[in-house]
Amino acid sequence: MDLDLTEEQRLLQQTAREFAEREVAPIAAKLDEEHRHPAELVARMAELGFMGVGIPEEWGGAGMDTVGYVLAIEEIARHCASTAVIMSVNNSLVCDPLNKFGTEAQKREWLIPLASGKKLGCYALSEPNAGSDAAAQKTIATVVDGGDMFELNGTKNFITNAPVADVVILYAMTDQAKGVRGISGFIIPLKGTPGLTLGPADKKMGIRGSQSCQIFLDKVRLPRTALLGEVGQGFKIAMNTLDGGRIGIAAQALGIARAALEASVKYALERESFGKPIAQHQAIQWKVADMATELDAARLLTLRAATMKDKGLRHTPESAMAKLFASEVANRAAKEAVQIFGGYGYLADYPVERNYRDAKITEIYEGTSEVQRIVIAANLLKD
């Protein structure tokens, strides 16, 4: 698909493509097999400016836009969804809210090292009983020491990057009586904070090179300077952040779907059955035709949401549509790729098996498909 991209966007896309093909692809299967965090790839992404793509250069970023970010994520996810989501979380869920809502002191302390890739961040909203119902926070932040400090107690679940991250943006209830208006955001160092401990790394079906775990808070004391934004502003910050984060996950899904399509086309042209390449069978032709059509449609939805974000326009339903459709396209494409490969598709020797496992999470994290439909419908059915 030929889009009217700027020279800078094309260069970012090409740089990401070359990096992914030369450095990510050769070790992607091993990362999955070993459940290993790709520290060497994260370091290279930092050198290339991928860890803070949309952050201004003065705050350690590359000074690019969301469209360029989408293009880069797709290229990397095409070869390794795990590496792509590490990049996505640091960009969308950590650097972006710090850039929008952080104080100058917080930006100096955290945003510069995060956007430049010297540090890695994570985002803690989900809890054991507060996944899709993000407003049902049970982690409590109590004012202590005459209002100078907060004491946090609770548990966060499925926190991507947490086992290897330096800092977490974490949400807690500061006033339960106010509901969503009683949630606040905090910036917390993950290393050396008394009372904060990490659970063991989650054992996952897919994206095994991206590590996640629980975060436990037991009488964690934080100064008021740890607040991100104002008291009670946390839910607004979290939802604003997820609007952008869903664009990143949509881009990850595009990469997975594209990998499935490209592998299917290549295999169909090489594999023979009944005396001819399976590409000549209509059943296969229809599968790849549907995969290609849906992939282009998902990419257009994703780039629309990215363009709206770059223009400073509200993009809540557009991001939800992009994430919903792209994630479901990725799952359909990965499923059909396994079917086209037949028995070989079921073996770990072929990347389509990994694509199939990796695709599923895109329908779950940063808002399930059901939540995306709720968001879209809510925006359509306003009084």
Q: Is 200 inside any structural domain?
A: yes
Count the domains in the chain. 3
Residues 85 and 171 both lie in one domain: no
- Domain C-terminal end among 234, 267, 282: 234
- Per-residue confidence at 377, pLDDT binned at 50, 70, 90? very high
Catalytic residues: 366
pLDDT digits (tens, 9 = 90+) for 199-242: 999 999 999 999 999 999 999 999 999 999 999 999 999 999 99
Indicate the Cα dihedral angle 116, 119, 125, 127, nearest 10°: 150
Tell me the pTM.
0.96
pLDDT digits (tens, 9 = 90+) for 75-104: 999 999 999 999 999 999 999 999 999 999
Q: Is 2 inside any structural domain?
A: no
State the pLDDT at residue 131.
87
| Residue count (the chain) | 383
**pLDDT at residue 1 greater than cutoff 70:** no
Q: Is 1 inside any structural domain?
A: no
Identity of residue 381 = L
pLDDT digits (tens, 9 = 90+) for 149-190: 999 999 999 999 999 999 999 999 999 999 999 999 999 999
Q: Are 51 and 114 in contact (CB under 8 A)?
A: yes
Q: In the chain, which ranges are continuous DSSP H helix?
A: 7-19, 25-34, 39-48, 66-77, 81-88, 96-101, 104-106, 112-115, 234-270, 282-310, 316-341, 351-360, 369-380
Q: Is 328 inside any structural domain?
A: yes
How far is it, in rounded angstroms, from Cα 299 to Cα 308? 14
pLDDT digits (tens, 9 = 90+) for 283-296: 999 999 999 999 99
Q: Is 21 inside any structural domain?
A: yes
Strand partners, 187: 169
The CATH number that applies at residue 246 is: 1.20.140.10
**pLDDT at residue 3 greater than cutoff 80:** no
CB neighbour burial string for 290-311, b if at least 16 within 10 angstroms, e if fewer: ebbebbeebbebbbbbbbbbbe
State the pLDDT at residue 4.
87
- Domain C-terminal end among 72, 100, 120: 120
pLDDT digits (tens, 9 = 90+) for 113-146: 999 999 999 999 999 999 888 889 999 999 998 8
Question: What integer is the mean pLDDT of 292-317?
Answer: 98
> H/E element holding 20?
none
**What residues make up the domain containing 371?**
242-380
Q: Are 158 and 123 in contact (CB under 8 A)?
A: no
Tokens 């030369």 correspond to: 22
Residues 246 and 341 both lie in one domain: yes
Q: Are 314 and 370 in contact (CB under 8 A)?
A: no
**pLDDT at residue 2 greater than cutoff 60:** no
Question: What integer is the mean pLDDT of 49-67?
Answer: 98
Average pLDDT of every residue of the chain: 97
Maximal C-alpha separation, the chain? 82
**pLDDT at residue 48 greater than cutoff 80:** yes
Tokens 């607004």 correspond to: 236
- Domain C-terminal end among 199, 218, 234: 234
